[in-house]
Structure 1
Amino acid sequence: MLGYPTHFGQMECMKLLAQPRFIDKRIGYLGAMMLLDERSEVHLLVTNSLKNDLSGSSQFVSGLALCTIGSICSEEMCRDLATDVERLIRSSNTYINKKAVLCAWRMIRKVPDLMEVFIPCSRNLFNEKNHGVLIAAMMLVTEMCERSPDVLDHFRKFVPNLGRILKHLMSGSSPDHEVAGITDPFLQVKILRLLRVLGKDDAKASEEINDILAQVATNTTTGKNAGHAILYETVLTIMEIPSESGLRILAVNILGRFLLQTDNNIRYVALNTLLRTVAVDYQAVQRHRATVVDCLKDPDVSIKRRAIELSFALINQTNIVSMTTEILIFLETAEKEFKAVCASKMYIAAERYSPSSDWHLDTMITVLRLAGDDVPHEVVSSIIQLISSHSELQHYAVGALFRAAAADRSNAQPLLQVAFWTIGEFGDLLLVPRDEEKSRIDESSVLALFEAVLPCSLSALPTKLYALNALAKLAARFGSTGDRIAALIQVHQSAFHVELQQRSIEFAQLLAQPQKSAYLERMPVITHNSLHESAAAAAAVGEATPDEHTNLLGESAPAAAAAHSGAAMDDLLGLMGGVAPSASAAPVARLGGGLDDLLGGLGLGGETVLSVPVAAAAPIGDGFDLLDGFVVVPPATAACGSIALNTKGIEGLVFVESDWCGDACSLKLVVSNNNPVPVTNFVAQIAVTKVSNGIKGGPQGVLGITGESLRPQSSQPDPIPGAFQLRMHIRATYELNGHTHTIDGECSTFHGLA
């Protein structure tokens, strides 16, 4: 009724059910099956009419009642009428018998507890001659066995009975039940399904079933769908139970013959079943590898999808080269939806079975070229990790990727991204030809690739970001192309995209520093990650490249490892346990906001989660901070600052203003407002610990700074007229957007502390 209310007809159905005539009852039961459900108030009133009609003299009326129970039965109705249905199952009338068994099947699915009511009468059903009753009986017994292990053990002793029925169907001829020359394929399929349930995880029952299955597999004729259905169910049963190896090979051969059929439905079923069978008998499926590979050429998308999954499942150490060749041929003309899947699975297979690192890299370069922009970011990061972790591969990789990128500059963006990362890290190796390479690559040729890709409108944004990072690194590795590199970087300072513009400005400032080589050292080896963990790897080498930024700040590999070690951070800071830092410890600044803050989000977090060297946090050049953007801090003092405050957009840096004299020196506090709105009524209180000498000129070791206003995105230097050592505490209050805020900070590490 399309969801419309049906109360107007429910009572009319009840009136018709009470009529003695069959035609009235038939219409009434038909209406009840369509208009009533378990939530209907009239539903309970139907139970009495059903009970009366189940005991009626007319088999057709009883049949209507059984159909209605199976259609709309509720839990209460099932419990009330279970004994009546069980009585009809024992009936000698096959018409009633079949409908009662099917009704019992529906009732068990609704109320599994009723199984014990129907188990005794179900045992006698195996001796039935009527095929309709037998089919219904197979469904009922299968349902009960799947729901209860005890019932399963009870019916396992009937395996010989099922075998006799199946053999009789194969050997006998019954024109009334014959379909395409096969006697009742529907009943045979139901028996095979029940045998699969009875033989699972039971060696004794499976031993009896194996003989039956062998006869079915060898005696069933193919060529018609009826025969294919029986053979398919036979294969599923063989693979599900503890069967003999020879029988499993026979089952796989049946599926192999299915692959040779012209019917796409049969071929799809065969591929789908082989994919499930690989885990059971890998070697048997391997024998049909050539047929599976041929399915990659099928025009049907569903068949190709299953064939490519099965092809990757069949790859091993011995056939990796030949299977890869076939898959690359398929990838060259594959639809877009297959390219991402093939790229991911190809990397996993090559990582596991590749004969050598060079072959692995060459294969993935081909995949990058053929799959184009459909290669997932996870594959890009995994290839980068492969190159980073294999030092013997780096010289070959940078040359191979440079040539591949030069040959295809627009269609395969992931290929360009991998190439740019590799050239940026190992570009100096390009200038040293390998023994087998006859032609030498010069710096000008390398820069020509960047000059062709960066201005191109077809180049994706991530590709341009990779290229800028690579150019910054090449500036420290190449000697004669510095002006061309600087020009390529500076041209993007007015780029439309903020990330591209920011990197261009930062790198331009960075390259102007005399110590740029220290900032642009090679990255430490990227730790191994599987393709399933590639989200983390993508964060390390992908579009945002936070590790790249960290390395650009000047960390060498050992320094980077120390800076990211939790234990090392605690020891360097000396704050958690109240231990003063050692004299040999490197100055460390505390940065809030986590790793993401390295890309410009400082001050958003509150607490400290990452430590980097102080020199990394210092502004570079003319007041430009690689981390925070433009901060007005004098360059002369920026190189020796320690962070004392970094909370809610307020940052306080302490600088050594004069040389140390004995155990005292003069410091300067620079407070920066990184919020987009001004800060007013700024009050700062600065105190030293009792172990210090105190602040000269301050009352009780405390210095107050009041009444200051900080413009948005600006800093205000406040000289501290005194000298002290070791640990300093700062508390500041201010108003922002009409609300008063209080922040605390601490500084315990100062440059020049002896």
Structure 2
Amino acid sequence: MTSLRSFIRSVRSTKTIAEERAAIRKESAKIRTSFRDPHLDESHRRKNIQKLLYLYILGEPTYFGQVECLKLLVSPSFSNKRLGYMAAMLILDENQEILTLLTNSLDNDLKSPNQYIAGLALSTLGNIASPELAKDLYANVESLLNTSSPYLRKKATIVAAKLVKKEPDLAEVFIEKIPSLLKERSHGTLLGTLQLMREIFLQDESSHDILRKLVPGVLAHLRFLATTGFSPEYDVKGVPDPFLYVSLLQTLRYLLEGDESNPNLEALDDLLTQICARLENSKGPGHAVLYEAVMTIFAVNSDSSLRVMGVGILSKFLSLKDNNTRYVALNTLLSVISHEPVAVQRHRAMIVGCLQDADVSIRRRALELTFAIMNQQNIRMLTKELVQFLAATSSSDDELKTYITTQLTLACYKYSPGIDWTFDTLIRMLEIAGNFFSDDIISSILALMMQNRDAELTKKAVRQLLNASKVAYSQFGLAIVTIWSLGEYGDLVLDSQKVTEASEVDVLNTFLELSTFDETSKRDQIRLYSLTAALKLSSRFKSSREVERLRKLIDSSKEDTNLEVQIRAIEYTEIFGEPRSIKKGLLERMPPPPRKEHEGAALFGRSTAQKSVSEPAKTGDLLLDLFDNDDSQADESKPAEKETTLDILSDIFGTTGDNEKTAAGKKVTGNTDILNLLSGSSPSAAPSAAVIPPTTRSIPMAEPPASLPTPIPAYNDSTISVGFVPGHVGNGEATLTGVVKNETSSSTVRGISILCAVTKHQELELSAITKNTLAPGAVATLGIKITGKEGSKVKLRIKVGYEIGGENVGQQFDFSGITERL
């Protein structure tokens, strides 16, 4: 059997792709044949696995060697184990069923007295762990957190974070270990512990208060780093362990963001000031720490002086030569401008200077930031710079041109110092980048022309358009605006010398005969605009000679290859023959349309409303937020009294306060179908939800018994009350009977609908409500069955809708009054 070196040499010596593929197929066939040998020894298996890894690097299929990798890693030889685990990490992933065969080997090696073998098993578990593997092996990782070896503790903390990410329920297992791990002196263990804290914080909302109590310990480590001197073991270019620095700041940002009442904020502000002052003149690793410090300053809502200092640090980044640092600075300034707009404005000269950078990514971010800092005071200066940049932009930056024309047009409307300045700016942009105006922006420019009440200004704008079109006639946007303006206001700019009826007809003829546009749709659109302008001018021109030229201009398009142009020309010819009195009324100037708001363009799909990436999910009336925790929320059984702006249940089921009755008639198609409405979330990642219409059954309809036990109250608004009677609760399931009662003495409640949801770790089965119309004092019931993990709490979110006295009412509330657990 050839060695790996020989295999690599044979592949590299090939001269064509066909020869290379032949060599690979030949060796791959040999490896397959060798794997079928029941007497294959470990040395030959090791060579085959080495070649298999080379095939993986080349992108060739390697699935046939998965079992052999598992056979190799059970070898007592460390070198064989190392190769087997490395191959398993590369060739296998968490979605393959063969991964279950790895469980026993990992279990044995995690208990190995050899720390390096246990380290191999930990690395493999962290890389390819599935939720099932996480549940099976978390106890081994938990025990390694208590080992005396810093090497294993470091790996165990990192793997624990990976397991929590795969299976959030494990957060409650590992959170108990964090206080003792935070006392570690080993930087490696501390890095893993901080990663574990962040992951638990993200995955388990009920852990937030517990983790926030550990902030003083994190601050103590940060204070030690900020005051420590030179340490040869961890120092990187004068910065003591920048990796730990960054991790500490990230963790504090997670824990303290949105917690403005935390008593540790003042101490954090003092530390951030010390860090920024100490590392102000550092380079490389120091920039990474300063960046994290700035992000923390804005995330925890520090005082104004600190935020101004943070903006100053970012502006210093802009003066560096390193493009990566400058890009990060621009991107960060774009996200913090809403916090300190005045401080960012002070550095606009440096921001505008980035528009001339050779790196296109920096130019893009500088453009976005330039528009973000634009206001009424600086629009003239910034517009001048942007127009110059637009004129100098190469053809490779066509996307930037469209972005600039859109954003600058909207900025002119919003911050315009005067309508005459606005017209001058728009015409200049049309002249240099008319091919990059969107249809919406062109229509808004035409609307602005119609809304202008100053006749002299309109005349000036039309003359400027005519002059510009003589030089830049190939600019589509300029052509469209010029032709339309001629048709509407051509008679206003006529004089005896510069603009005559004959010159205007010449302009229309020029545009009608244009063939410089690549797209047929653009040429046809110009022809249509030209025909309309010619017809309108025919009712306003006094010279019969020029009117006849306009008629011939329209006639020339009656046999156009484009059907729409042809039809338009024939229709206009008929109108042309009508008496002047009829044409004059028919071809009056268009009335000004209402102002239409346009949404700004975005680069790279970035939203025009900037949001912090690290912003946590807001609490409130959100279905997913409520059910992220299992045991908190002491007052969930109380009715929700505050109407919120975002009602997830209404969004899911398409109902609002005005159409609750309609929601009751929708058909249930099963939990999976309903979950597909949750923004594309998979069933495993979203709560179960179901609609309970009065005529549709998920499980057999619950008939009210002769005498119902007293239900546990969940909601009462003096019109109807909702309560629940617990049946069997335990062994991973619960059966409840929902009771809805009309509490009024003289009114009938109609159109009752019930919407329900449980946590994402549970499943819900429901019956239809027995009656959707209740007389005074009448009762209706529905059956509920919940299945889930044993020991978990029963929690429901319910939305009830009904009609009384012709008025639709909808209310939402939470219920967790069942003390027993599944």
> Shorter-chain TM-score: what band?
0.5 to 0.7
Match of 2:589 among 522, 544, 567: 522
> In structure 2, what residue type is equivalent to 1:175?
P
Which of these residues, 167, 180, 191, is aligned with residue 135 of structure 1?
191
Equivalent in 395, 398, 403 of residue 466 of structure 2: 403
Q: How does 1:422-433 map to 2 (within 5 A)?
A: 422-431=485-494
Change (3 A) 1:450 1:27: closer
CA 1:509–1:260: 2 relative to 1, 3 Å: same
Contact 1:344 1:376 in 2 (8 A): yes
Q: Which amino acid aligns with 2:547?
A: G
| 1:352 match | 414
Matched residues in 1 for 2:425 and 2:96: separation? 65
Retained in 2: the 8 A contact 1:490–1:504?
yes
Q: Percent identity?
A: 39
User: Which residue does 1:59 correspond to in 2?
Assistant: 115
Report the residue type matching 2:511 in the other structure: V
| Residue 431 (structure 2) pairs with residue 369 (structure 1) | yes
Which deviations, in whole Å up to 9, do the C-alpha atoms of 1:103-158 show, x marking residues without a partner? 10111111011011111111112211111111111111111112233322212233
| 1:608-619 equivalence runs, <5 A | none
Query: Quick one: structure 1 residues 61 and 399, their matched pair in 2 at CA, closer, same or farther if it must change by over 3 Å?
Result: closer
Q: Distance in 1 between matches of 2:369 and 2:95?
A: 48
Residues 451-530 of structure 1 aligned to structure 2 (within 5 Å)? 451-458=509-516, 460-480=523-543, 481-514=546-579, 515-530=582-597
Distance apart, 1:63 and its partner CA? 1.2
TM-superposition CA deviations, 1:67-106 (whole Å, max 9, x none): 1211222222211221221111111210111111111011
Q: Do residues 233 (structure 1) and 292 (structure 2) align?
A: yes
The 1:61–1:374 alpha-carbon spacing in structure 2 relative to 1, beyond 3 Å, is: same
Which position in structure 1 is the counterpart of 2:243?
186
- Superposed, 1:248-267 pairs within 5 Å as 248-267=307-326
1:601-638: CA deviation from partner (whole Å, max 9, x where unpaired) = xxxxxxxxxxxxxxxxxxxxxxxxxxxxxxxxxxxxxx
Query: Residues 580-619 of structure 1: matches in 2 within 5 Å?
Result: none
Equivalence for 1:392: 454
- Following superposition, the deviation at residue 397 of structure 1 comes to 5.4
User: Which amino acid in structure 1 is aligned with residue 116 of structure 2?
Assistant: F
1:545-560 to 2 correspondence within 5 Å?
none
User: In structure 2, what residue type is equivalent to 1:516?
Assistant: K
Shift, 1:247, TM fit: 0.3
The alpha carbon displacement at 1:19 in A equals: 3.7
Separation in 1, partners of 2:420, 2:334? 31
Q: Is the 8 A contact 2:432 2:472 kept in 1?
A: no
In the alignment, the residues of structure 1 paired with residue 287 and residue 357 of structure 2 have an alpha-carbon distance, to the nearest angstrom, of 21
Would the alpha carbon gap of residues 201 and 402 (structure 1) be closer, same or farther in structure 2, given more than 3 Å must change?
Answer: closer
Change in CA separation of 1:207 and 1:255 when aligned onto 2, cut-off 3 Å: same
Residues 487 and 405 from structure 1, CA distance in 2 versus in 1: closer, same or farther, beyond 3 angstroms?
Answer: farther
Task: Indicate whether 1:103 and 2:170 are aligned.
Answer: no
**In 1: Cα distance, 2:437 partner to 2:66 partner:** 60
Q: Is the 8 A contact 2:466 2:482 kept in 1?
A: no
Cα pair 1:401 1:419 within 8 Å, conserved: no
CA–CA distance in 2 between the matches of 1:15 and 1:520?
A: 87
| Structure with max Cα Rg | 1
**Amino acid aligned to 2:572:** F
> How do 1:204-223 and structure 2 match up within 5 A?
204=262, 205-223=264-282
- Aligned-pair distance for 1:462? 1.8
CA deviations on 1:343-395 (whole Å, 9 max, x unpaired) are 10011101111022222111111111111312222211110011112232563
Q: Choose the corresponding residue for 1:202, options 236, 259, 262.
A: 259
In the alignment, the residues of structure 2 paired with residue 142 and residue 495 of structure 1 have an alpha-carbon distance, to the nearest angstrom, of 68
CA–CA separation in structure 2 for the residues paired with 1:496 and 1:405: 30
Q: C-alpha deviations, 1:715-742, integer Å up to 9, x for none?
A: xxxxxxxxxxxxxxxxxxxxxxxxxxxx
CA deviations 1:259-318 (Å, max 9, x no partner) are 100111111111111111111211111011111111111121111111111111111111
Task: Report what 2:332 is aligned to.
Answer: 273
Aligned to 1:79: 135
Number of residue equivalences: 528
The question of whether the paired residues in 1 share the 8 Å contact of 2:171 and 2:203 is answered with: no
The alpha-carbon distance between structure 1 residues 530 and 59, as it changes in their structure 2 partners (threshold 3 A), is same
Residue 504 of structure 1 and its aligned partner are, at CA, apart by: 2.3
Q: How many angstroms apart in 2 are the aligned matches of 1:3 and 1:151?
A: 45
Q: What SS does the aligned partner of 2:317 have?
A: helix
- How far apart, in 2, do the equivalents of 1:379 and 1:339 lie? 13
Contact 1:55/1:62 (CA < 8 Å) preserved in 2?
Answer: yes
- 1:418 corresponds to 2:477: no
Q: Alpha-carbon deviation of 1:493?
A: 2.4
User: Structure 2: how far apart are the matches of 1:39 and 1:447?
Assistant: 71
The verdict on how the C-alpha distance between 1:454 and 1:210 changes in structure 2, with shifts beyond 3 A counting, is same
- TM-score where L is the length of structure 2: 0.62
- What residue is the counterpart of 1:441 in the other structure? 499
Contact 1:402 1:423 in 2 (8 A): no
Match in the other structure for 2:508: 450
Cα 1:448–1:358 shift into 2, 3 Å:
same
Q: Helix, strand or coil: the match of 1:187?
A: helix
Query: Which residue identity lines up with residue 251 of structure 2 in the other structure?
Result: L
- Superposition pairs of residues 733-744 of structure 1, within 5 angstroms: none
Q: Please name the residue that 2:216 is paired with.
A: 160
* Gap change, CA 1:432 and 1:74, over 3 Å in 2: same
2:232 corresponds in structure 1 to 175
Contact persistence 1:202–1:242 (CA under 8 A): no
Residues 1:323 and 1:9: Cα distance change in structure 2 (over 3 Å): closer
Note closer, same or farther for the CA distance 1:470–1:100 as it changes in structure 2 (3 Å cut).
same
In structure 2, do the counterparts of structure 1 residues 496 and 40 end up closer, same or farther at CA, with 3 Å as the change threshold?
A: closer
Matched residue type, 1:317: Q
**Match of 1:477, SS?**
coil
Q: Which runs of 5+ in 1 are unaligned?
A: 434-438, 535-754
Give yes or no for contact 1:289–1:311 (8 Å, CA) kept in 2.
Answer: yes
Q: 1:32 to 1:402 in 2, by over 3 A?
A: closer
Distance 1:455 1:34, change over 3 A: closer
How far, CA to CA, are the matches of 1:351 and 1:396 in structure 2?
Answer: 20
Structure 2 CA distance, aligned partners of 1:463 and 1:353? 31
Whole-Å separation in 1 of the counterparts to 2:337 and 2:270: 23
Amino acid at match of 1:498: L
What does residue 777 of structure 2 align with?
none
The one-letter amino acid of 1:510's match is I
Match of 1:341 among 388, 403, 409: 403
Measured in 2, the distance between the counterparts of 1:325 and 1:512 equals 49
RMSD between aligned residues: 2.2
Aligned to 2:3: none
Q: 1:222 touches 1:228 (CA, 8 Å); kept in 2?
A: no
Instruction: State the distance in 2 between where 1:253 and 1:117 align.
Output: 43
Paired letter, 1:25: K
